[in-house]
Amino acid sequence: MASGSSDAPPPVAPWDAADRIVLGRTPGGAIVAVALDREGAAGRRPLSDAELPAWVALREAEAARAGRGVRWIWSGSAEWYPRLLAAGVRVSRCHDLRLCRAILALAVPDPADTRDGGWDEAVDDDAPDALFEIGGDAPRPSAFDRTLAEYERQEAALARAADPGRLRLLLAAESAGSLVAAELRAAGLPWDADRHDALLRTELGERIAGGTPARIAQTAAAVRAALGDPAASLDSQPKLLRALHRAGVRVESTSKWELAEHDHPVIEPLLEYKRLMRLYTANGWAWLAEWVRDGRFRPVYVPGGVVTGRWASSGGGALQIPRGLRDAVRADPGWVMIDADVAQLEPRVLAAMARDERMAAAAGSDLYEGVVASGAVATRAEAKVAMLGALYGSTTGDSGRLVPRLRQVFPRAMALVDAAAREGERGGQVSTWLGRVSPAPSAAWLEAQRRASDGAADEQRARRLARDQGRFTRNFVVQGTAAEWALAWLADLRARLAAIPPVPEDHAARASGPVFARRPHLAFFLHDEVMVHAPAERAEEAADAIRGAAEAAGRLLFGSFPIAFPLDVRIGRSVAKD
DNA sequence: CGTTCGACGGGT
DNA sequence: TTTAACCCGTCGAACG
């Protein structure tokens, strides 16, 4: 092993080491706060909803004065934090029981509990009392005691973990992410509705009451003319497919990449029709009216919404904003948007996890160019598809053909993902760098493997499912660790931004909300990219915070291993990306 | 009338 | 240069 113990991540995150306060509700709905010290509960206090924000703010201020932090332990930031933010209160740290339990249930299964998942029912402080009355008139714990008990179970689970230090780091990062998610929604992404409207008019033409916009209607007419079918239905996949066949276009689907392979007068207007219709239905005026208010797009982020630890979103399609609409993102007057994304995050994470010094050396500032320089492949484009093939497990096509070359040049990195794939193929579970464990294969998958000897068809099916699972676990370790890096980046960045001195004036304070007025704040996050909305005179400080946080995230996860996470940072207008 | 599913296309 | 990982939202068709 080339790596010494100095490479191991430190056991405690910089945003850790805090006093702890548990917040919960009694069955009657009253809030209870309990302060915890090393010995256990050190104080208990009832609170009304009205008093809560000011009381939380006071605890935060006291902790800050004492030069320490305070960690709020609650059922979930999604329930507790938006109300605090609306009241102008920011918290520095939390422990999100719901998110942490999801991690612990897979990472440290409870041996005393034989039920699926091994954990109690969901902690839900807002649930009606009926949920807790299953025992009739038997004594039952209050909802608040269940909150406290859940936290104690989680602490006990951590103590049983193979590497409690890393897992604690993951729980802290996940919880910090839950705060960021609530803050992103509260602050919103500055969105210029007039600019969006102008883009729509340019592409789709004028809006027509009760009908499709002008250019869509014209394009539809052109498609029908080319088909020689004035009544052709363009919005029903089966009907469109039949109409294409009647016109002599032999396609098996109506997907754009297959259509593009054919030469027929209908192809060009049809592809244009599909493009316009997509824009109109997914991000048209209806989307604008529903999701943009007061110059802010406020999507719902769902931390931990993906098994790998990536975030999902629900509502607003925050993670699918088409590149062409990015132009509608406009800073407030006197403010700027800072857009930063990491170059080739996943392969860099793989190099660091595998301690592959050669791959790390090739990474430099452009990893794909480095791969070319290593002699593995001839062009940057080849390097890119080869690397994606290595991470996703492709075996065919150009990508699959190039993967063996990477295996020759970067054996350590490839051995890590290959081992993860083998583990998945035989039904095992794999783990990210900090200890997020992949879900076990489904009962249907196990059943298919059991039947593999029943016949040729069953055997083929079992093999295919095994390979599918192998590709999943192969990708899980890298995508999941990249998500951990991103959480560490976000967590450190929100702390750095909060420490930047506010500017005296902010004419747009109302839109951003009380917590985010007058100082740089996170406005968008997407896997490996952040946007920060900053007063112009704080732009450089904010950009430095973004870079500094990326460096800190790399050190936190990978210690002294020499891997860089270079950022493309753009202050002001955003441009198209690679 | 509802709900569910497959096809499609947007993101990383 | 569709081959592969993880997603979400919309639509129409099919089903109940």
Where do the structural domains in chain A lie, given as residue ranges? 5-187, 195-287, 294-343+483-571, 346-482
- The protein residue nearest nucleotide B7, judged by CA to C1', is A237
Q: Which nucleotide C1' is nearest A310 CA?
A: C6
Q: Which nucleotide C1' is nearest A317 CA?
A: C8
Question: Average pLDDT in the A281-296 region?
Answer: 95
Structure confidence at residue A140 (pLDDT):
52
CA of A400 to C1' of C2 (A): 13
Question: Average pLDDT in the A11-17 region?
Answer: 43
CA of A458 to C1' of C14 (A): 29
- Contact of A216 with A277, CB cutoff 8 Å: yes
CA of A463 to C1' of C16 (A): 36
CA of A258 to C1' of C10 (A): 21
In this predicted model, what pLDDT tens digit does every residue of A504-538 receive, in sequence order?
987 666 788 889 999 999 999 999 999 999 999 99
Q: Which nucleotide C1' is nearest A326 CA?
A: B11
pLDDT confidence tier of residue A486, bands split at 50, 70 and 90: very high
CA of A259 to C1' of C1 (A): 16
Mean pLDDT of chain A, nearest integer: 89
CA of A388 to C1' of C16 (A): 43
CA of A335 to C1' of C6 (A): 34
Q: Enumerate the nucleotides of strand C whose atoms come under 7 Å of any protein CB.
A: 1-14
Structure confidence at residue A135 (pLDDT):
37
The CATH number that domain A195-287 falls under is 1.20.1060
- Contact of A473 with A423, CB cutoff 8 Å: yes
Q: Which nucleotide C1' is nearest A281 CA?
A: C10
Whether the predicted pLDDT of A15 surpasses 90: no
* Protein residues with beta carbon less than 7 Å from any atom of strand C: A 233, 235-239, 257, 281-282, 287, 302, 305-308, 310, 312-317, 319-320, 381, 385, 388-389, 392-394, 396-399, 468, 471-472, 475, 479
CA of A336 to C1' of C9 (A): 30
In this predicted model, what pLDDT tens digit does every residue of A75-101 receive, in sequence order?
999 999 999 999 999 999 999 999 999
Q: What are all long-range contacts of A392-400, with beta carbons under 8 Å and residues at least 24 apart? A: A392/A471, A392/A474, A392/A475, A393/A417, A393/A421, A393/A467, A393/A470, A393/A471, A393/A474, A393/A475
Whether the predicted pLDDT of A422 surpasses 80: yes
- The protein residue nearest nucleotide C2, judged by CA to C1', is A257
Structure confidence at residue A146 (pLDDT):
85
Whether the predicted pLDDT of A494 surpasses 70: yes
**For chain A, what percent of residues have pLDDT higher than 70?**
89
Q: Which nucleotide C1' is nearest A324 CA?
A: B10
Structure confidence at residue A113 (pLDDT):
59
Give the range among A141-145, A235-239, A342-346 with minimum mean pLDDT: A141-145
Give the range among A17-26, A404-413, A427-436, A564-573 with minimum mean pLDDT: A17-26
Q: Which nucleotide C1' is nearest A325 CA?
A: B10
CA of A230 to C1' of C11 (A): 22
Question: Average pLDDT in the A268-285 region?
Answer: 96
Number of C-beta neighbours around residue A199 at 10 A:
17
Q: Enumerate the nucleotides of strand B whose atoms come under 7 Å of any protein CB.
A: 6-12
In this predicted model, what pLDDT tens digit does every residue of A188-229 receive, in sequence order?
999 999 999 999 999 999 999 888 999 999 999 999 999 999
In this predicted model, what pLDDT tens digit does every residue of A245-275 receive, in sequence order?
999 999 999 999 999 999 999 999 999 999 9
Q: Which residue would you say has higher pLDDT here, A365 or A4?
A: A365
Structure confidence at residue A17 (pLDDT):
41
**Burial class of residue A220 (count of CB atoms within 10 Å of its CB; 0-12, 13-18, 19+):** buried
Question: Average pLDDT in the A494-509 region?
Answer: 88
- Contact of A421 with A407, CB cutoff 8 Å: no
CA of A45 to C1' of B12 (A): 45
Give the range among A70-79, A279-288, A504-513 with minimum mean pLDDT: A504-513
Q: Which nucleotide C1' is nearest A475 CA?
A: C5
Which tokens hold the place of A444? Answer: 């249907």
CA of A442 to C1' of B4 (A): 21
Structure confidence at residue A103 (pLDDT):
96
Q: Which nucleotide C1' is nearest A472 CA?
A: C5
Question: Average pLDDT in the A316-329 region?
Answer: 92
Q: Which helix (H) or strand (E) holds A43?
A: strand A40-47
Q: Which nucleotide C1' is nearest A279 CA?
A: B10
Whether the predicted pLDDT of A3 surpasses 60: no
Q: Which nucleotide C1' is nearest A346 CA?
A: B12
CA of A253 to C1' of C9 (A): 20
Q: Which nucleotide C1' is nearest A255 CA?
A: B8
Domain A346-482 annotated CATH 1.10.150? yes
CA of A188 to C1' of B2 (A): 35
In this predicted model, what pLDDT tens digit does every residue of A343-381 receive, in sequence order?
999 999 999 999 999 999 999 889 999 999 999 999 999
Give φ, ψ of A34 to 5 degrees.
-130, 125
pLDDT confidence tier of residue A66, bands split at 50, 70 and 90: confident
CA of A292 to C1' of C16 (A): 37
- Contact of A127 with A143, CB cutoff 8 Å: yes
- The protein residue nearest nucleotide B10, judged by CA to C1', is A320
Question: Average pLDDT in the A317-340 region?
Answer: 94
The CATH number that domain A294-343+483-571 falls under is 3.30.70.370
- Contact of A569 with A364, CB cutoff 8 Å: no
- Contact of A20 with A71, CB cutoff 8 Å: yes
Q: Which nucleotide C1' is nearest A305 CA?
A: C7
Structure confidence at residue A508 (pLDDT):
67
b vs e for A338-368, b when ≥16 Cβ sit within 10 Å of the residue's Cβ? bbbbbbbbbbbbbbbbbbbbebbebbeebbb
Indicate the residue type of A216: I
Whether the predicted pLDDT of A342 surpasses 70: yes
Structure confidence at residue A137 (pLDDT):
43
Hunting for tokens 């190099």 — which residue is that?
A351
Give the range among A30-34, A42-46, A81-85, A411-415 with minimum mean pLDDT: A42-46
Structure confidence at residue A36 (pLDDT):
87
According to DSSP, residue A441 is labeled: P
Give the range among A109-118, A356-365, A498-507 with minimum mean pLDDT: A109-118
CA of A335 to C1' of C11 (A): 39
- The protein residue nearest nucleotide B12, judged by CA to C1', is A527
